[in-house]
Amino acid sequence: MFKITLGENLFLHLIEMQHAQELHSVVDASRGHLRRWLPWVDAMKTVADFQPVIHAWLQQYADGRGFQAGIKKDGVLVGVIGLHDIDWMNRRTSLGYWLTEAYTGRGIMTKATQAVLAIVFNDYQLNRVQIQCGVTNYESQAIPKRLGFLFEGVVRDGEWLYDHYHDLVQYSLLREEWLRYISSGGR
Amino acid sequence: MFKITLGENLFLHLIEMQHAQELHSVVDASRGHLRRWLPWVDAMKTVADFQPVIHAWLQQYADGRGFQAGIKKDGVLVGVIGLHDIDWMNRRTSLGYWLTEAYTGRGIMTKATQAVLAIVFNDYQLNRVQIQCGVTNYESQAIPKRLGFLFEGVVRDGEWLYDHYHDLVQYSLLREEWLRYISSGGR
Amino acid sequence: MFKITLGENLFLHLIEMQHAQELHSVVDASRGHLRRWLPWVDAMKTVADFQPVIHAWLQQYADGRGFQAGIKKDGVLVGVIGLHDIDWMNRRTSLGYWLTEAYTGRGIMTKATQAVLAIVFNDYQLNRVQIQCGVTNYESQAIPKRLGFLFEGVVRDGEWLYDHYHDLVQYSLLREEWLRYISSGGR
Amino acid sequence: MFKITLGENLFLHLIEMQHAQELHSVVDASRGHLRRWLPWVDAMKTVADFQPVIHAWLQQYADGRGFQAGIKKDGVLVGVIGLHDIDWMNRRTSLGYWLTEAYTGRGIMTKATQAVLAIVFNDYQLNRVQIQCGVTNYESQAIPKRLGFLFEGVVRDGEWLYDHYHDLVQYSLLREEWLRYISSGGR
Amino acid sequence: MFKITLGENLFLHLIEMQHAQELHSVVDASRGHLRRWLPWVDAMKTVADFQPVIHAWLQQYADGRGFQAGIKKDGVLVGVIGLHDIDWMNRRTSLGYWLTEAYTGRGIMTKATQAVLAIVFNDYQLNRVQIQCGVTNYESQAIPKRLGFLFEGVVRDGEWLYDHYHDLVQYSLLREEWLRYISSGGR
Amino acid sequence: MFKITLGENLFLHLIEMQHAQELHSVVDASRGHLRRWLPWVDAMKTVADFQPVIHAWLQQYADGRGFQAGIKKDGVLVGVIGLHDIDWMNRRTSLGYWLTEAYTGRGIMTKATQAVLAIVFNDYQLNRVQIQCGVTNYESQAIPKRLGFLFEGVVRDGEWLYDHYHDLVQYSLLREEWLRYISSGGR
C-alpha cells in the first residue's frame, strides 16, 4: 500500500475501496465523539454508504483535486486527513481532518498535518492552505495554531450541523510562512 | 427574454448563447477598467472564448448551482452579477459582480445586488451570502457595506491577479439580517 | 425570479427545481381536464416525478434547445408553455402549452404564445414555429388560428394517448408572416 | 457482414467505421446530383468528415433509435437508407434515403424501402412511418406513392438547403395500411 | 433484420433489444447444460437481466470493439457467438460461443465460427483470433481444432466458475494461417 | 508523496500529473533501450504526450482497476511498474514494467515486482497474476522466473512492435504458489 511514514508505526495511506469496512467500523465506534463537529456522521450508517464516498475521493485524487488519506497507528485506522479540492488558478487548498477519541492528545494529527503540508507546498507547489474549525472546537484549532497558521476571521453560520448552523474560525498558512517555519526547525 | 426588472430601463437577464457577441464587446471596451480586479479578463480575447463560459453558466443554472445575469441599462449590457455555486448542504452561496466604468456610481449595482439577494433568500431560501472583494477595491466593497453585510476577515493571498496574489476582504449577510434589513425598509 | 411580463399580474417564468411542488399541485388538481389531451398526466403522480422532468427542462434550456415556462396569474401557477427542442440547422421549433380549466377563455394563452413567439423570432432568430393539436382539440387550435398560423395538414396517429392513437393537426408560422402580423398590429 | 438481401446482388448492410472511405468516394463522385436535395453534402469533404457521422449512426443503432444502412448493388455502394430516430412513446419513425444518379430508375430504392418497412413494422412493431421529400423532388416522392403511403400536407420552409428554405411534402404509412398492402401482394 | 446466412434456415443476426425475451427463454431452458462452462448463467434470471447486457453488446458494436450475434436455426434462437473486444493496436481479438444442448453435434457452430472468422479477417483485417475453452470442455475445443487453430498453452485458474477456478486451454489462428486454410478449401 | 519503500533509497510511488516532465525526460534519454520491447515509446514525444496517459493511469487507480507506479532510486525516476487492469470477476491481473538501461542488473525490478505482488495478493486478494514478455526478451523473463512464476505458453503474434508482430511468452503465479514462495523465504 502506498504510504507516508510519519513515525514509529504511524503512517498515512490513500483510502481505497477495500478500506470501506474498516472505515465504517472506526466511524461507527466513535459516532458520539465525531458527530460533535462532523456533519456527515449520521448519514454514514453502513459499509455501503462509504463506497460511493471512497470512489468520489479516488476520483478527486485522479483529477488532481486533492486526496483523502487514512491515518494508521499500530495497524489501526484512527482517523482521516485530506484536502477539500485544490484551486489551481489561485494555488490554494483547504485542509480537513478527524481522529477517533482514543488517539487524540498524542501529537498524531500534528504529524499528519505536517506531512500533508509538505505535499501541498513541495509536491503541488501551492501558495496557500486554509483550515476551518468550529468556533468552540478548541481541539481542532490547536493544530493550525501549533503549525504557524494565522487567524483570518470567523465565517458566520458557515456550516449546518444536524440541527443548527455554527460559526467557523478560519486559519491560513502561506507558502513563504511555511518555508520560514520549516527552516526554523518547525518551531 | 426572462428578466428581473430593477427600475426604469434597468433589468437583469439570464445570459444565453446569443449574448456572446455583446458580452465580448462590453468586456473588450472596458479591459483596462475590468482587469484591475478581475483575473479572467486577459484570457477572454474573442467571442469564441465566451461561448464555453456561457455554456458553463447555463449548466450551472440547470444544475441548480446558481446563475449569471447580464445587467442591462437603456438597452445596453453594462455588467454581470451572479452566484459562485450554491452549497445546499450548508445553504450558503457567494456573490460576484462587475460593471463597466461608464455606469459606475449610479446605484445600478446596489439595485442588482438587492434583486439577487431576493432570489437567494426568497426563492432559494438560503441562509448565508458572502461577498469577497480585493482589499483595496473600495468601489466593490461599498456594495456589501451599503446592504448591511458584516465584515468577517481578510483572506490572505486569496486570488492570483495576473502577476501577483492579493488579499480579499470577506463580507457576509445572514438570512435573519436580510429579513430585518428588508422589514426596516432597506436602510 | 426571471420573468416575462404579459400584463397585469400575469407573467411567464422559467421553471426551476423549487417549483416542483407547485407544478405537481396544479397538475394534480386538474388531472381530468389535462389528460384529455396530454399523454404524460397519468405518469406524473408525485412531486418526485416532476423533479427529473424539471431537470431535463433546465438542461434543455442550458443546451440552447428551448425552454419550459410557468404561466403565473395573480400569483398562481395556471399552466406551462414551452418549445419542444430547436432545430438550429433548419431554424425551426415546435410550441406546446396547457392551461388549467379555471383559467381558460381569458386570453391568457394567447398572450403567453405571443411572448414566446417574440423570443423565437427576435431572440433566437428562428424561421419557423409549428404547433400540433389533437384533431378535435378545438380549444388548443384556437391559439394558432388567432395568431396567424397556417394549417399544414394532419399527422395521422401522431400521438399515443393512454389507450389509442389520435390524429394531430399541424399549424405553422414563418418569420416573415410573424413580422407582417406584428407590423399590422397583431390583428 | 450483417446484411438484408433484397435480390440478385443487391443487399443492405449496417454502415460501420471501415466503410468511411467507400462512403466518401460515392458521395464525392455524386456531389452535384446529391446536393440538389441533401443539405449535408457540402459539409462532408473528406473521409475524416464521415467518421464521426458513422459513429453517431452506430450509436443511434446501439441506443435503439434506428439505423443507417448502405445499399450495395453488384458489390458497389450505391446509396443509403435509414430511420431518423424512433419515437417509442408514440411508436413512430421517419424514413430517409438517397441513391447515386447512375442507379436510379431501377427499382432499387423501392426494394430497399420495403425491406426497411418490414423491420419497422415486424421487428420494431411500430405504428407509423413518415417520409418527407422536397416539394419538387418527384423522384423521391415516387417511393412513398408507390408503396401506399398517404399524403398528409406540406411542411412550409421545412429544411434549409445551403442558401434557401424549401417546402417538404409529408407522406405517412400506418401499420394497418402496411399489413393490408402486404397481404394484398404489395400492389 | 441484418443477417449472415450460413446455410439452409441457418443464420447469424446482431442481437437487439427486442430479442431479450427470446434470449432469456433459450438460456432459461438450457441452464443445466450452459452453466457447466459459462460463468454468467446463474446471474441471468429474468428478461430484465438481459436488457443491460444487450445494450452493452450494442454499445460494443457501435464502438467498433466487436459484436454478439444470435444463431438462428429454423426460426429458433439456438446460441450466441461473438468477439470479446478488439485490440486494434495489436489487431487481435478473442472469440466466444455457446449452443443449446439440442443443437450440438450438427456442425452449426463450425459454420458460425467460419462466418465470424471471415468478418474478423476480411472486414476488420485483424491479424489474430484466440479461443479459450475449459481444459476439459472437449466439445468447445473441437471448434478451434477443426478450423486450423493452434494450441498455445494453458491459462491456469483462468476463470471463476461459480465455486471454483478452472484452467483454460488457449488456441489461436493467425491471418496467414486462415488465408492458407481458406485457399486450401477449408480442410 | 505516497510511497512503498523497497530498500535503501529505493521506493515506488503513484505517478501523478506533476511527474509528467520527469517521466518524459527518463523515457527520452532511454528511447533506444526502451523501444526494443515497448510499443508506445515512439508515440510519446513531448511532455504533453504523457499528460493524458498519466490521467488515464490515475483514473484506472480511482476505478480500482490497478495502478502505475514510478520506481525511484537515489531520487531519480528509473522505471515504471504497474498492473494492466484487474479482472475482479476472475480475480486476475497482469503485470508490466520497464527500467532504464543504467539501472538494470541491480535487482531493482525484482524488489519492485515483489512489492506489487504483495499488493495484488494481500491488499486486493487476487488469485492470479500474469506476466507477458517478448519471446527473446530474456532480461524481462528473468523476473517471473526468479519469483516462482510458471511458464504457460507462447502468445503468437501477441503484440505489434512498430513494424512487425512478435510472440509473447506468458508466465503466471497463483495465490497459493505465492503464499508458499513467501513462507519459504522467497527462494
Three-class SS state of E96: strand
Q: F159 CA to chain E: closest CA distance, Å? A: 5
Inter-chain contacts counted by CB atoms under 8 A, chains C and D? 61
d(C-alpha E95, C-alpha A48), whole Å:
36
Q: Which residues pair with residue B153 across a beta bridge?
A: A153, B170
Q: Which residues of F touch E (CB under 8 A)?
A: 39, 89-92, 127-128, 130, 150, 152-160, 165, 170, 172, 174
Amino acid symbol at D103: Y
Pick A152's closest partner by Cβ from B90, B128, B153: B153
pLDDT at D184: 87
Q: Which residue out of E38, E86, E90, E93 would a mutagenesis test of the F interface target, given it has the greatest number of F Cβ atoms within 10 Å?
A: E90
Q: What is the mean pLDDT of chain D?
A: 96
Contact residues, chain B, for A156 at CB < 8 Å: 128, 150, 152, 172, 174
Q: F35 CA to chain E: closest CA distance, Å? A: 16
| Res. E126: pLDDT tops 70 | yes
A14–F2 C-beta distance less than 8 A? yes
How many CA atoms does the CB half-sphere of F57 hold within 13 Å?
A: 20
A12–F2 C-beta distance less than 8 A? yes
The string of pLDDT tens digits covering residues D113-157 is: 999 999 999 999 999 999 999 999 999 999 999 999 999 999 999
| Res. C151: pLDDT tops 90 | yes
d(C-alpha F14, C-alpha E151), whole Å:
38
Quote the DSSP letter at residue F8: T
Neighbours of chain C (3+ CB pairs under 8 A): B, D
Under 8 Å between Cβ of B79 and B89 = no
Q: Which three cell numbers, joined as nine digits, stand for D187?
A: 400492389
Q: B3 CA to chain C: closest CA distance, Å? A: 5
Q: Which residues contact B20 (CB under 8 A, 6 or more apart)?
A: B47, B48, B50, B51, B54
Q: What is the DSSP string of C63-124?
A: TTS--EEEEEETTEEEEEEEEEEEETTTTEEEEEEEE-GGGTTSSHHHHHHHHHHHIIIIIS
Four-CA torsion C174, D88, E74, D73, nearest 10 degrees:
20
Q: Model confidence at B184, in pLDDT bands (50, 70, 90)?
A: confident
The string of pLDDT tens digits covering residues F78-91 is: 999 999 999 999 99
pLDDT at F165: 98
Under 8 Å between Cβ of F160 and E89 = yes
Which range (A167-171, B182-186, C96-100, C140-144) has the least confidence?
B182-186
pLDDT at D186: 65
d(C-alpha D112, C-alpha D2), whole Å:
15
Task: Please give the CATH architecture assigned to the domain spanning B3-183.
Answer: 3-Layer(aba) Sandwich (3.40)
pLDDT, average across residues F41-59? 98
pLDDT at B187: 54
B100-135 residues labelled b (16+ CB within 10 A) or e (exposed): beebbeeebbebbbbbbbebbbeebebbbbbbbbbe
pLDDT, average across residues B81-86? 97
D1–E3 C-beta distance less than 8 A? no
A58: nearest CA partner in chain F: F62
A1–F119 C-beta distance less than 8 A? yes
Under 8 Å between Cβ of D128 and D158 = no
Q: Model confidence at F35, in pLDDT bands (50, 70, 90)?
A: very high
Q: C5 CA to chain B: closest CA distance, Å? A: 9
Contact residues, chain E, for F90 at CB < 8 Å: 158-160, 165
Pick D59's closest partner by Cβ from E3, E13, E62: E62
Q: Which residues pair with residue D160 across a beta bridge?
A: D165
pLDDT, average across residues F55-60? 98
pLDDT at F186: 65
What is the ipTM for the molecules in this complex? 0.94
Q: Which residues of F touch A (CB under 8 A)?
A: 1-5, 12-14, 16-18, 55, 58-59, 61-64, 69, 119, 123-125
Closest Cα partner for C39 from C1, C84, C2, C102?
A: C84
Q: F85 CA to chain A: closest CA distance, Å? A: 15
E170–F156 C-beta distance less than 8 A? no
D63–E16 C-beta distance less than 8 A? no
pLDDT, average across residues B116-125? 97
D157–C92 C-beta distance less than 8 A? yes
F1–A119 C-beta distance less than 8 A? yes
Q: Model confidence at E185, in pLDDT bands (50, 70, 90)?
A: confident
F39–E159 C-beta distance less than 8 A? no
Instruction: Tell me, yes or no, whether chains D and A touch by having 3 or more C-beta pairs under 8 A.
Output: no
| Res. D100: pLDDT tops 90 | yes
The string of pLDDT tens digits covering residues D55-88 is: 999 999 999 999 999 999 999 999 999 999 999 9
Three-class SS state of C28: helix
Q: Which residues of A touch B (CB under 8 A)?
A: 39, 89-92, 127-128, 130, 150, 152-160, 165, 170, 172, 174
Contact residues, chain A, for F4 at CB < 8 Å: 1-3
Q: F121 CA to chain A: closest CA distance, Å? A: 12
Q: Model confidence at A129, in pLDDT bands (50, 70, 90)?
A: very high
pLDDT at A62: 97
Q: F110 CA to chain E: closest CA distance, Å? A: 23
In the block, cell 495484488 appears at: F120
Task: Report the number of secondary-structure helices (H) and strands (E) in chain B.
Answer: 6, 8
Pick A156's closest partner by Cβ from B152, B154, B159: B152
In the block, cell 434597468 appears at: B10
Q: Model confidence at F1, in pLDDT bands (50, 70, 90)?
A: confident
In chain B, what are the domain boundaries? 3-183
Q: Model confidence at A185, in pLDDT bands (50, 70, 90)?
A: confident
Name the percent of chain C in helix, strand, coil, to the closest 5.
40, 35, 25
Q: What is the DSSP string of F20-62?
A: HHHHHHHHHHTHHHHTTT-TTTTT--SHHHHHHHHHHHHHHHH
Crossing angle of helices C47-62 and C20-29, in 10° steps, is 120
Q: Model confidence at C187, in pLDDT bands (50, 70, 90)?
A: low
Alpha helices in D68-174 (DSSP H): 108-118, 138-146
E165–F89 C-beta distance less than 8 A? no
Instruction: Tell me, yes or no, whether chains E and B touch by having 3 or more C-beta pairs under 8 A.
Output: no
